[in-house]
């Protein structure tokens, strides 16, 4: 699903920020303004670490252009800073102070002001301060905004108290999350998105005197205080000051319980009123506690709220009025001993339509305009998109963040917990330091269902230990065209292979009954994307510049069932808890509908998935996917919910969705029975997960995140995923050999892990903890020299290893034709040519899909499809140095040229570079034999098949396959490839005798003289 890091959405960012635009005269006793930037040339245009003004943006076109321009109307001096911009993603400019000199102390001033030439365009402009830390690029970011709603020059004054800590993005881990201003490293402006514009700015300066009411604040340790009936809530008040200085003057806090909540004073709680004082000289961080006692009446009740009104003198008050909440109690749905069905029925019978609509609404955590919206809209779910992480990005910070969200849900009438979701598609990949598995394409190459289950179990344990109970995985797409940017999210091109790897669902969820979901190492899984997203035709996408992703899948009903639907049938049998529809459209031959978006297909979502297959979990939409349906927003909501969607992922539009859903139900365009069905499905999974009993994070397993034990599983998966396509005696390497290593992907953990790692698109470089392939080779004891571009001398080496391939991408951004192809880069080709011309060489291709290598295949002695092996490069080194044998097999067909695409097992015309299922081995004992041996293996396979002896049957086919590959060598003709690939499909479907028959046909084709082979 599409996950745009919130940093890349300046529009969203500015919408989230409080706005202050003011002009005002300074007080008579204020100090003189302190200049920051006069823009007369005293501050250069320069990049860090030098002091200066520099620009930045999301891509090459987004940084603005800046100039110092002489203006007769300059508010200050003779010149002003001018610029022009046309930003599609995000962009702006920064003034960083010199890294090598001390930071500036701004703590004595009230705020910052500057002259801005208004264009009256109504656009918000984010203004950001860099505070604390080591330097301008390793500091905390504090932000606010102003709106350009005037014409001509105006002085904009922003008190420092208006700046808030950025929660959507921080360049480093949290420093102290206090705007100290004693170490200020500069400021930045983020310019408007989606409009061409010019700006002019002048005279940045500090103004005013920082009186105590501006630099002291009173906070509460929480906004919500749940307490059992009859218990006492302790509300802790803390005073903090800018710069952590002691109070100059007393701060008083008058408090009283307000009768505006749902609890009744004197009956549900004892009213309290009073004052606490923090005398002058009180150190910053001092606390006082106010106790609110609740009363027990032993009646079954829903939760009730008691606001505690605070009036602060001498300091800034808390942003919210804290609420004491008397927990719901005595109601049947709270009884964990009752069957889940009865609990659901009881709770559903009590809920209002608005509460039900809230349960069907999922928002992105960074898009909440206020944390209180969780209770105000009775939200059922939040998610983190790719790159939407807390600061710092640590397990503890994740748990703390999600617990804070869950706490807000406790302020609702029935205290229905949130279900928090995340795209942990190859490990807990949003979390820095987590164990990152090979992407699914590599797991498919292992042909090891037990290992797939173990990778799922590691992922579930790491995800749940950070407080997240729901994973948007696995992707059960059947990739039929490697030009698709999501190819690596698939286990392979054969539905039988995808079905075999669905053991991952048990790794994530445990038993199919859902009985293990409440455990602290299991999560709810999501089968996605229903249905046919791997079959979209090249050129059929209408999303931006995508060519394949989110396009149209044209199939017959039989093809739909056999290829694309089959994995979901298996997922339902395995008890998967949620299903996510595809962005793509389905065009079924003969149904007369033409292409219809999957989010609108009631015939498949309700008719097939829920009714025919018996799916009893809930359907969650993809990221803002209903926006792609034809018609207005009300039509989008009505169509998708009536089609069978139960929860709608509306990352930024949760308020609009909630209101629209209510309108549609009240107007009778969506039936209440459909709403009740959706909410019942959602509540069922929440009860199964044990969220009502344990809504907060159980961090007992956090110490295992990224642990040696978890990484050992990822290392094994990386090793088993390596597919040896060619080997002329080069592999395995020997530790005694001098090895020359080159290539762009040999020493890059970001390229090695691919997309969906830390951020949505992933990134090159040291983005997380792990071992690169080069590091793994060194740790294996190899005598290794590295030259990325092969520019170092190649003399004196025994063998070369060149690691090349792709850089990260995700979804349609990676589509071929959307700025991508299947060719190696010029630098990679040069590295291969240089090394392979100088010595015997092995080439490893680190990529999410096959790369076209045929023109160089003759010069390469060994070729390995490494896929995207994850964080454990040791696993790749294990097979390179023979610690483990190569056993991986191609999960997709490896084409000779792009003109062959799409090409898949079972095609009538099938002449690839390497067939589906191909994979040489470095086992020390490779089976030998010929036609007679194959006849014997076929007979034995038939016996095993009749007896249901699957393990024996698979072993017999495996022996036959190795015999055939040894015979074929590099002479992979069409006559060999077609039956060879078909044999692997037959093996996966349990037809062992037929599989050996097909392998025998491939053996005969390899044995026949070249002139006698049929042409395709």
Distance from C-alpha of 507 to C-alpha of 437, rounded to nearest angstrom: 13
**Would you say 526 and 510 are in contact if contact means Cβ atoms under 8 Å apart?**
no
C-alpha 431: how far from chain center: 9
**Would you say 87 and 167 are in contact if contact means Cβ atoms under 8 Å apart?**
no
Distance from C-alpha of 852 to C-alpha of 820, rounded to nearest angstrom: 13
Distance from C-alpha of 766 to C-alpha of 757, rounded to nearest angstrom: 11
CA pseudo-torsion sign 871, 874, 879, 880: positive
Distance from C-alpha of 417 to C-alpha of 825, rounded to nearest angstrom: 49
Q: Which of 622, 806, 878, 984 is catalytic?
A: 622
**Who's near 950: CB < 8 A, 6+ residues apart?**
944, 990
Distance from C-alpha of 730 to C-alpha of 627, rounded to nearest angstrom: 53
- Pick the closest to residue 550 from 610, 595, 608 (CA basis): 595
**Would you say 83 and 189 are in contact if contact means Cβ atoms under 8 Å apart?**
no
DSSP H/E element including 18? none
**Who's near 444: CB < 8 A, 6+ residues apart?**
490, 491, 492, 497, 498, 501, 891
Distance from C-alpha of 555 to C-alpha of 532, rounded to nearest angstrom: 9
Tokens at residue 250, please? 């007393």
DSSP, residue by residue, 682-717? HHHHHHHTTTTT--S--GGGGGGTT-HHHHHHHHHH
**CA distance to 62, 765, 822, 824, 881, per residue, from 805 (Å):** 28, 15, 9, 6, 21
Alpha helices in 948-991 (DSSP H): 950-968, 974-988
Judged by DSSP in three states, 743 sits in coil
Residue 811 is among the residues annotated as catalytic for this protein: yes
CB-CB neighbours of 326 under 10 Å: 28
- Name the pairing type of β-strands 361-364 and 648-649: parallel
How are strands ordered across the β-sheet holding 585-588?
552-555, 585-588, 596-597
Distance from C-alpha of 649 to C-alpha of 360, rounded to nearest angstrom: 9
Residue 715's beta-bridge partner residues? none
Cα 468–470–472 angle (5° rounding)?
125
- Pick the closest to residue 467 from 514, 415, 408, 405 (CA basis): 405
Radius of gyration, alpha carbons of the chain: 31
Burial class of residue 262 (count of CB atoms within 10 Å of its CB; 0-12, 13-18, 19+): middle
3-state secondary structure 91-110: EEEEEECCCCCCCECCCCCC
Could you identify the residue written with the tokens 């097992």? 905
- Backbone angles phi and psi of 840, in degrees to 5: -65, 140
Residue 521 is among the residues annotated as catalytic for this protein: no
Burial class of residue 691 (count of CB atoms within 10 Å of its CB; 0-12, 13-18, 19+): buried
CB-CB neighbours of 962 under 10 Å: 19
Tokens at residue 648, please? 């709608």
Burial class of residue 28 (count of CB atoms within 10 Å of its CB; 0-12, 13-18, 19+): exposed
Q: Which of 117, 748, 775, 811 is catalytic?
A: 811
CB-CB neighbours of 25 under 10 Å: 8
The set of catalytic residues is 622, 811
């Amino acid at each position: 699903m599409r996950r745009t890091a919130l940093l890349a959405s300046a529009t969203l960012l500015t919408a989230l920020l409080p706005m202050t635009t003011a002009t005002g005269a300074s007080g008579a006793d204020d100090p003189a303004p302190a200049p920051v930037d006069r823009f007369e040339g005293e501050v250069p245009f320069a990049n860090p670490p030098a002091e200066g003004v520099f620009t930045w943006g999301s891509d090459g076109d987004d940084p603005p252009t800046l100039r110092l321009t002489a203006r007769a109307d300059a508010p200050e001096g003779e010149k002003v800073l001018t610029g022009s911009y046309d930003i599609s993603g995000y962009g702006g400019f920064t003034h960083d102070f010199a890294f090598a000199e001390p930071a500036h102390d701004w703590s004595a001033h009230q705020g910052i002001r500057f002259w801005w030439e208004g264009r009256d365009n109504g656009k918000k402009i984010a203004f950001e301060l860099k505070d604390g830390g080591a330097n301008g690029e390793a500091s905390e970011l504090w932000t606010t905004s102003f709106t350009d709603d005037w014409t001509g020059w105006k002085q904009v004054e922003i008190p420092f108290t208006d700046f808030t800590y950025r929660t959507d993005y921080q360049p480093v881990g949290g420093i102290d999350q206090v705007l100290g201003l004693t170490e200020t490293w500069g400021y930045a402006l983020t310019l408007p998105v989606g409009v061409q514009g010019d700006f002019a700015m002048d005279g940045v300066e500090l103004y005013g005197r920082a009186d105590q009411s501006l630099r002291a604040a009173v906070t509460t340790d929480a906004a919500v205080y749940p307490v059992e009936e009859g218990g006492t809530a302790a509300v802790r008040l803390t005073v903090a000051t800018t710069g952590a200085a002691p109070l100059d003057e007393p701060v008083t806090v008058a408090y009283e319980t307000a009768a505006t909540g749902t609890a009744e004073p004197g009956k549900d709680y004892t009213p309290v009123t009073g004052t606490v004082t923090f005398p002058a000289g009180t150190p910053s961080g001092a606390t006082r506690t106010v106790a609110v006692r609740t009363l027990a009446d032993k009646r079954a009740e829903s939760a009730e709220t008691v606001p505690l009104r605070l009036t602060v003198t001498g300091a800034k008050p808390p942003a919210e009025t804290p609420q004491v909440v008397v927990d719901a109690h005595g109601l049947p749905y709270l009884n964990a001993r009752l069957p889940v069905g009865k609990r659901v029925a009881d709770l559903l019978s009590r809920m209002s339509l608005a509460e039900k609509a809230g349960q069907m609404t999922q928002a992105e955590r960074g898009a909440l305009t206020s944390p209180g919206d969780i209770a105000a809209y009775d939200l059922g779910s939040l998610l983190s998109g790719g790159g939407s992480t807390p600061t710092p990005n640590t397990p503890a910070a994740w748990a703390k963040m999600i617990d804070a969200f869950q706490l807000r849900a406790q302020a609702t009438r029935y205290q229905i917990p949130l279900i928090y979701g995340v795209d942990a598609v190859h490990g807990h990949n949003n979390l820095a330091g987590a164990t990152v598995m090979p992407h699914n394409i590599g797991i498919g190459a292992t042909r090891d269902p037990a290992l797939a289950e173990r990778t799922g179990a590691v992922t579930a344990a790491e995800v749940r230990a950070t407080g997240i109970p729901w994973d948007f995985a696995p992707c059960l797409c059947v990739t039929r065209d490697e030009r698709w940017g999501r190819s690596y999210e698939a286990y392979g091109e054969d539905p039988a292979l995808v079905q075999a790897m669905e053991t991952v669902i048990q790794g994530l969820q445990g038993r199919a009954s859902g009985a293990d979901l409440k455990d602290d190492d299991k999560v709810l899984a999501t089968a996605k994307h229903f249905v046919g997203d791997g079959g979209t035709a090249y050129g059929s996408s209408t999303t931006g510049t995508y060519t394949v992703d989110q396009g149209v899948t044209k199939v017959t009903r039989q093809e739909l069932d056999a290829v694309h639907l089959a994995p979901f049938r298996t997922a339902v049998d395995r008890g998967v808890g949620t299903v996510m529809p595809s962005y793509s459209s389905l065009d079924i031959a003969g149904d007369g509908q033409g292409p219809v978006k999957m989010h609108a297909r009631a015939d498949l979502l309700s008719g097939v998935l829920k009714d025919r297959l018996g799916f009893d979990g809930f359907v969650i939409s993809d990221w803002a996917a209903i926006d792609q349906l034809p018609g207005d927003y009300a039509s989008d909501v009505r169509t998708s919910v009536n089609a069978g969607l139960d929860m709608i992922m509306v990352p930024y539009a949760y308020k609009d969705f909630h209101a629209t859903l209510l309108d549609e139900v009240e107007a009778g365009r969506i039936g209440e029975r459909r709403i009740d069905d959706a909410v019942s499905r959602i509540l069922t999974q929440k009860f199964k997960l044990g969220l009502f009993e344990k809504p907060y994070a159980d961090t007992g397993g956090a110490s295992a995140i990224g642990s040696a034990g978890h990484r050992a599983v990822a290392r094994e998966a990386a090793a088993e995923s390596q597919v040896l396509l060619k080997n002329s005696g080069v592999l395995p390497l020997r530790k005694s050999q001098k090895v020359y290593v080159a290539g762009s992907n040999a020493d890059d953990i970001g390229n090695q892990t691919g997309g969906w790692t830390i951020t949505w698109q992933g990134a090159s470089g040291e983005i997380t903890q792990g071992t690169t392939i080069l590091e793994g080779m060194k740790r294996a004891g190899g005598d290794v020299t590295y030259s990325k571009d092969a520019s170092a001398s190649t003399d004196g080496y025994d063998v070369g290893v060149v690691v090349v391939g792709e850089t990260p991408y995700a979804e349609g951004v990676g589509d071929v034709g959307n700025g991508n192809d299947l060719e190696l880069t010029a630098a990679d080709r040069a590295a291969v040519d240089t090394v392979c011309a100088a010595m015997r060489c092995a080439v490893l291709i680190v990529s999410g899909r096959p790369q076209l290598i045929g023109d160089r295949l003759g010069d390469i002695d060994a070729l390995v499809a490494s896929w995207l092996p994850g964080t454990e490069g040791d696993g790749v080194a294990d097979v390179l140095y023979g610690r483990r044998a190569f056993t991986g097999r191609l999960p997709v067909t490896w084409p000779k040229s792009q003109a062959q695409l799409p090409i898949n097992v079972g095609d009538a015309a099938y002449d690839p570079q390497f067939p589906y299922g191909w994979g040489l081995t470095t086992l020390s004992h490779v089976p030998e034999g010929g036609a007679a041996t194959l006849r014997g293996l076929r007979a034995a396979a038939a016996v095993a098949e009749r007896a249901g002896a699957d393990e024996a049957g698979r072993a017999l086919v495996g022996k036959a396959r190795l015999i055939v590959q040894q015979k074929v060598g590099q002479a992979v003709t069409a006559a060999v490839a077609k039956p060879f690939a078909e044999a692997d499909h037959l093996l996966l479907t349990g037809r062992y005798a037929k599989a050996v028959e097909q392998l025998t046909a491939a053996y005969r084709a390899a044995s026949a003289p070249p002139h006698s082979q049929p042409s395709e």
